[in-house]
Amino acid sequence: MMGFGFLFFLLLIGLLILGLGRGFGGLFTGHGYGGHHGPHVYPTPRPAGSPAPEDPKRLLQLRYARGEITREEYLQMLKDLETPA
């Protein structure tokens, strides 16, 4: 009789470890058991009336003006933006 109780206890402990491993991002990595690869990030909708994201060419001009990129990088990126995909 005591054998069944011990087996039940081991099964319960195993399920607890498995549940904790999957539910909290893994005591273990979880990658081998269908675990996720990072936090779930959902895009947030823009509030009504908020400005649209800036134009990529304008952002590129600003980066060049601030000295974040060289002239060659600027021209290449500008060409990439103007080339249809």
Flag whether 42 is in a domain: no
Is the whole model's pTM more than 0.75, yes or no? no
Flag whether 15 is in a domain: yes
Q: Would you state the pLDDT for residue 67?
A: 94
The tokens for 41 are: 């990030």
For 11, the domain range is 1-30
Question: Look-up: residue for tokens 């823009």?
Answer: 46
Distance CA 20, CA 26 (A): 7
Flag whether 79 is in a domain: yes
Flag whether 71 is in a domain: yes
Q: Would you state the pLDDT for residue 76?
A: 95
Query: Total structural domains in the chain?
Result: 2
Distance CA 10, CA 8 (A): 5
Q: Which residues of the chain have pLDDT under 70?
A: 1-2, 16, 18-43, 46, 50-53
> Phi/psi zone of residue 70: left (φ > 0), alpha (ψ -120 to 50 degrees), beta?
beta
Distances in Å between the alpha carbon of 32 and those of 22, 36, 38, 73?
11, 10, 14, 41
